Amino acid sequence: MEDASISTLLGVLVFLILCSAFFSSSETGMMSLNRYRLKHLVNKKHRGARKASKLLARPDRLIGVILIGNNFVNILASAIATVIAVRLWGDTGIAIATAALTVVILIFAEVSPKTMAALNPEKIAFPAAYVLTPLLKLIYPLVWIINGITNGFLRLFGVKMTGDNNHHLSTEELRTLVHEAGALLPQTNQNMLLGVLELNEVTVNDIMIPRNEVLGIDLDEEIDAIIEKLSTTEHTRLPVYQGELNKVVGILHMRNLAQVFRSGTVTKAAILQVIREPYFIPESTPLQTQLLHFQRQNRRIGLVVDEYGDIQGIVTLEDILEEIVGELSNTNPDENHDVHLQEDGSYFVDGTAYIRDVNKHLGWNLPTDGPKTINGMITEKLESLPDANVCVQISNYRIETLQIGDNLIKTARILALPETEDD
């Protein structure tokens, strides 16, 4: 080294700094790769991705080869810089070389390449994998020795070297991932994916049609009234009961009813001949589970029962699908007949409206961990049905009852208040 010219030493020094920049950027680029995109590219047989994936399968070896190379070139660069400085400035050059080389390495071999790699990990990591793979094979014995010592040291602190590297995502993390997709994923697709993720958090009790709104065939009525109802109904399937919904005897499909009409005589006995046995669903069943049950049992409608066996309402396959794809029967998905905007920015809301539907439609956060309807939420807050109109505040919403009757709050005015810093 003493016989080499200063220009030669400067050339070697520049080369070593470039090597240091390569190792620094490779480390950051490899560790910044999106593991799910990497798997996708591996499945697409991308050569760089496949090499990078193999290196990342053993991160201890990857980090070992990078750090060995980086430390080697940095120490060698320090030695060469010292030789150059001593030749130029004597003993004072040692301090000059130390300060100058520290700044140069920080800027050109650490901060700049690592920042570039963090911003563009694939552009750095994939080409680097072609160099690191043979380099790892070349110095594998040294890497193996150093890793063995390092792993043994880490075990003293209880660090396991065989941890789970599958990077599984929780439901909440998947939901965040969908939200962050932005323009890469159309809003409709985002809503559908979020609907699927929420299926297991919503029960049939949250979306069922309550029993007071269920339309069915009461066999205690006159046959003419039954025929009139059958002729005008918009539904494909109807529950058939005697006197009250709890005395259900079956489910009538309008397609089967066509056979009765073709016979020329419509009687209650003929209707009973074409009904299908009722299908009961516990009210706490998650939608994801119920969707599978509908599929396996070839059902499209079920009667929701509570813990005492009393029928609380009905739920259909269409109701569950609407949780995923949005409203099916409404031509305007942005329209909600239970919610009406007022000039002052408040909303008139039907008391029987589901809180989840109101939250979805208006982007609100009314509490859903208790009662399911607006009426239930207000009466729970008041702990009784008010005799006259009252005003209450629930979370950041001011709610005023407007119409009370038939043992429920029929209409309420709701105004979203500005959120405070504490919220």
pLDDT in tens, 57-113: 888 889 999 999 999 999 999 999 988 888 888 888 888 888 998 999 999 999 999
Q: CA–CA separation, 346 vs 336, rounded Å?
A: 15
pLDDT at 267 over 90: no
Q: Are 398 and 391 in contact (CB under 8 A)?
A: yes
Q: What is the domain partition of the chain in residue ranges? A: 6-155, 169-201, 202-321, 339-416
CA distance 93 to 87: 8
3 pLDDT tier (thresholds 50, 70, 90): low
Dist CA 81 CA 96 (whole Å): 9
Instruction: Write down the pLDDT at residue 357.
Output: 84
CB contact set of 370 (below 8 Å; sequence gap of 6+): 376, 377, 380
* List of long-range contacts for 111-115, beta carbons under 8 Å, 24+ apart: 112/21, 113/21, 113/22, 113/24, 113/25, 113/28, 114/24, 114/25, 114/27, 114/28
Task: Give residue 331's pLDDT.
Answer: 47
Architecture of the domain delimited by 202-321 = Roll (3.10)
Beta carbons within 10 angstroms of residue 1's beta carbon = 9
pLDDT at position 152: 84
Which pLDDT tens digit goes with each residue over 5-31?
Answer: 888 888 999 999 999 999 999 999 999
Place of tokens 């003493």: 2
Going by C-alpha positions, the residue among 300, 216, 217, 215 that lies closest to residue 266 is: 217
| Token pair 């570039």 in the structure block, residue | 116
Question: Of 97, 131, 139, whose CA–CA distance to 22 is shortest?
Answer: 131
- 186-210 pLDDT per residue, tens: 877 888 888 888 888 889 988 898 8
| Fold entry, domain 339-416 | 3.30.465
